[in-house]
Amino acid sequence: MIASHWNSSRSIIPATASAEIATQTRWHAVVIGAGPGGAAVAIRLARHNMRVLLVDRDSMPRPKLCGCCLSSMALAELADLQIPSGKLRPVPLNAVCVAAAGGSAWIAMERSACLSRESLDSTLVQQAIDAGAHWLPGVNVSAIDSALGDPHAWALGLSVGILGRFVSQPLPFSGIVLHAECAVVAAGLADHIRIQNGSGSAIPRRFPWPAKRPLERRQTALKSRVGVGTTLATEAMDLESGKLVMAVARGGYCGLVRLEDGRIDLAAAIDRRLLSDSAGPAGAVRRILHEVFDGQPLDGFTLPSDDALTVATYRATPPLTHRSSLVAGDTGRIFRVGDAAGYVEPFTGEGMGWALASSRLCAEAILAHWPPRVHPADPIQVVAAGDRYRRTYKRLFASHHARCLRVARSLRSPRLVAGGLWLTRRVPWIARGVLPLLIGSVAPGHAHPWRRQ
């Protein structure tokens, strides 16, 4: 079996709150989703003495579909989180081979690194626990009702109710309702959590199934690609640590990188049509790699065999490019961060940086208008926190999202990419100028546009 499963001495992080404590506590914030966005917001709020519960439908560590590259923004945000040194050991990336049918070029990289999501996400969850947050894995949240909070507080609009179920328990006994002053949705691309504005009762009408009132749906870009990915065993291909290979074809693109534990991470963004024409992810990835590399010499690496790609276990995402409302619910107590708030195709490998940065902005907005000693927060302050989050998010991300959309559009034309690569091989300084535009990095000595000045 070539598909590799994560073997590590890192053991599962146990829950720190029982179901009983979780339901009986009036939380200042319940954070849903323990990816980088959710864990980072939990760390920041817990460090300011807020009562925080971090829930996820999975346990930690868990595998996650991702290219695993940390952009300079992600590295800066991780530094800002002050994770004790030695806890995270990303592998610095020093070169990327961009390849399209008709040519390839190695381009030097700086201030980027790669790290498996098992390692990154579980370290951040452990940091959230160390900061004082409680951790409850195995809870799949289905709805948040802005008028379904603490029975004493809901009438005044002072809390929200979070409805979920324990994934490991049979249905009639698995329901759980959490009460919090605010909910932070960090459920990633798979966010399907219903936002309900006032079911008018402290008890859901059809507990544990929420009343059907879908509101505030996400907007998905037309023809958005979907993500697929897997990890392959160490020996699946020759690829030096610190090197990244990106193959750009007509129906999508695919990245390969060696993780810190030797496995190969494969992540791709693929047209839905190619996926169905190729009878699934393995066929689609094989077609991309054949289209790009058949007939051209491989420079410094080999490719995984068709057999290795066929037997691998793939994960997939819903359509990638989308946006949702940053603040939801009629009382404005539901915030979205990370992929749940908005996302653009991942060629530029910036999603984790965006998730970490949006969680910082969200936490800053909550803490500025909602200091822990003033609970429950008055509704005017809650609205002010939402306004501040929207404003700072837009200021930070508008240009990044626009740049990534332009990159994503250009990548639909492998001829354009091949032309760019041809030029890059002849005029190398062009690569140095273009790469920061592609991956959003900043030349040394320049201010980081996303940092507070």
Contact residues for ligand FAD (CB under 6 A)? Answer: 32-38, 55-58, 64-69, 71, 74, 140-141, 186-188, 190-191, 193, 227, 229, 267-269, 317, 320, 338-340, 346, 349-353, 355
We find the least distance from the C-beta atom of residue 373 to ligand FAD, in angstroms, to be: 29
Residue number, 90 or 229, with CB nearest to ligand FAD: 229
**Residue 419 Cβ, how far from ligand FAD at the closest point, in Å?**
25
- 128, 46 contact by CB (below 8 A): yes
Which is it for the CA torsion 261, 258, 137, 165, positive or negative?
negative
Q: Which residues pair with 95 in a beta bridge?
A: 108, 243
Q: Which is nearer to ligand FAD, 158 or 326 (CB)?
A: 326
SS3 374: coil
**How many other C-beta atoms are found inside a 10 Å radius of the C-beta of residue 277?**
12
Task: Provide the minimum distance between the beta carbon of 378 and ligand FAD in the complex, in angstroms, as a whole number.
Answer: 29
Q: How far is the CB of 123 from ligand FAD (least distance, A)?
A: 14
- Cα 332 from Cα 216, distance rounded (Å): 12
CB of 315 to ligand FAD, least distance (A): 9
Q: How far is the CB of 319 from ligand FAD (least distance, A)?
A: 10
Instruction: State in angstroms the smallest separation of the CB of 130 from ligand FAD.
Output: 19
Helix (H, G, I), strand (E, B) or coil at 285: helix
Q: Quick one: 68 or 158, whose CB is closer to ligand FAD?
A: 68
Q: What is the DSSP letter of 370?
A: S
Q: How far apart are CA 361 and CA 358, in angstroms?
A: 5
Residue nearer to ligand FAD on the CB measure, 248 or 267: 267
The tokens of 140 are what?
Answer: 């799949």
Helix (H, G, I), strand (E, B) or coil at 417: helix
Please identify, using beta-carbon distances, which residue of 190 and 443 lies nearer to ligand FAD. Answer: 190
Q: Which is nearer to ligand FAD, 158 or 392 (CB)?
A: 392
Buried residues in 34-63 as b, exposed as e (16+ CB within 10 A): bbbbbbbbbbbbbbbebbbbbbbbbbbbbb
**Pick 32 or 46: Cβ nearer ligand FAD:** 32
| Residue 332 and residue 383 in contact, taking contact as beta carbons nearer than 8 Å | yes
Give the three-class secondary structure for 270. Answer: strand
Amino acid making up residue 324 = S
